[in-house]
Chains A and B, each alone.
Chain A
Amino acid sequence: QQPVQSPQAVILREGEDAVINCSSSKALYSVHWYRQKHGEAPVFLMILLKGGEQKGHDKISASFNEKKQQSSLYLTASQLSYSGTYFCGIFNNAGNMLTFGGGTRLMVKP
């Protein structure tokens, strides 16, 4: 079952922060985050494997709340290069199939 992402779209000014949420109706075993630029394949951002885990790279970080069956992606002090569509992906029980959320379109303006 496809995870639900919110918001569907967001427009930011450079330097502003954003949070993208990903929720599942089923138990989560791992959460993946990807960013896709128009016309390109998704690019892996990070994976969270354990409940309570938090990770970050540069000014993009994510958390994984296993009990709430959700994950959040945090973009702080956004840059123009952050523009794109962000997808979360969740694995099934067997860990062999990734189902993507509907995506969140992020546009960062100067």
Chain B
Amino acid sequence: GAVVSQHPSWVICKSGTSVKIECRSLDFQATTMFWYRQFPKQSLMLMATSNEGSKATYEQGVEKDKFLINHASLTLSTLTVTSAHPEDSSFYICSATGTSSTYEQYFGPGTRLTVT
């Protein structure tokens, strides 16, 4: 149980275009979803935290107008990278927590974004 999926697995887009990444909890209701970004050989850096039906909370230095997060339901959160640039190329990973008291986060498989 506790499976999180992401779509797409990888995407290549041209500079200036927007890209949407979906994160779904397949067999549980995700009260909170997290979006991370990971550059090569670096750690995961939290970008934002989202709760269903409310605005996302962004970490310092993350542009909320550039990285639009929507958590429309308890099983779906989307991250839209608007006007993408080559420096946005990265590995984007979502995770979700359910109602378990162990605070375990379930990670999606990640989305590799390459902006040309």
Interface residues of A (CB under 8 A from B): 2, 30, 32, 34, 39-44, 47, 49, 87, 89, 91, 95-103
Contact = CB atoms under 8 A, between A and B. Distances in A.
Contact of B44 (A87, A96, A97): A87
Contact of B108 (A34, A41, A49): A41
B28 interface: no
A97 B47 CA distance: 11
Contacts of A96: 32, 49, 97
Interface in B77-104: 91, 93, 95, 97, 102-104
A98 B106 contact: no
Contact of B109 (A2, A34, A41): A41
B105 interface: yes
B105 A32 contact: yes
B46 A99 contact: yes
B44 A100 contact: yes
B54 interface: no
Nearest to A101: B43
12 contacts: A32-B105, A39-B91, A40-B109, A40-B110, A41-B108, A41-B109, A42-B107, A97-B34, A100-B44, A102-B43, A103-B42, A103-B43
